Chains A and B, each alone.
Chain A
Amino acid sequence: MNIFRLVADLMHLGSILILLLKMFTSRSCAGISFKTQALYLIVFVTRYLDLFTHFVSVYNTFMKIFFISSAGYILYMMRVPLKDTYNKHLDAFRWEFLLGGAGVLALVFTHKYTVIETLWTYSIFLEMMAILPQLLQLQRTGEAETITTHYLFALGAYRALYIVNWIYRYETEHHVDAISTMAGIVQTALYCDFFYVYFTRVLKGKRFKLP
Chain B
Amino acid sequence: QDGGDGHDEL
**Chain A positions near chain B (C-beta within 8 angstroms):** 5, 9, 12, 50, 53-54, 56, 60, 63-64, 67, 111-112, 114, 116-117, 120, 162, 165, 175-177, 179-180
Contact = CB atoms under 8 A, between A and B. Distances in A.
Contact of B5 (A50, A162, A177, A179): A50
Q: Is the interface of A mostly helix, strand, loop or mixed?
A: helix
Nearest to A162: B9
Q: How big is chain B's contact interface, by range?
A: 10 to 19
B5 A53 contact: yes
Contacts of A117: 3-5
A177 B10 CA distance: 13
A54 B2 contact: no
Contact of B9 (A5, A54, A111): A5
A53 B4 CA distance: 13
24 contacts: A5-B9, A9-B10, A12-B10, A50-B7, A53-B5, A56-B8, A60-B10, A63-B10, A64-B10, A67-B10, A111-B2, A111-B4, A112-B4, A112-B5, A114-B5, A116-B5, A117-B4, A117-B5, A120-B7, A165-B9, A176-B2, A177-B3, A177-B7, A180-B9
Q: Is the interface of B mostly helix, strand, loop or mixed?
A: loop
Given A9-B10, A63-B10, A67-B10, A175 B1 contact: yes
Interface of B: 1-10
Contacts of A112: 3-5
Contacts of B10: 9, 12, 60, 63-64, 67
Contacts of B1: 175
A56 B6 CA distance: 9
Contacts of A177: 2-3, 7, 9
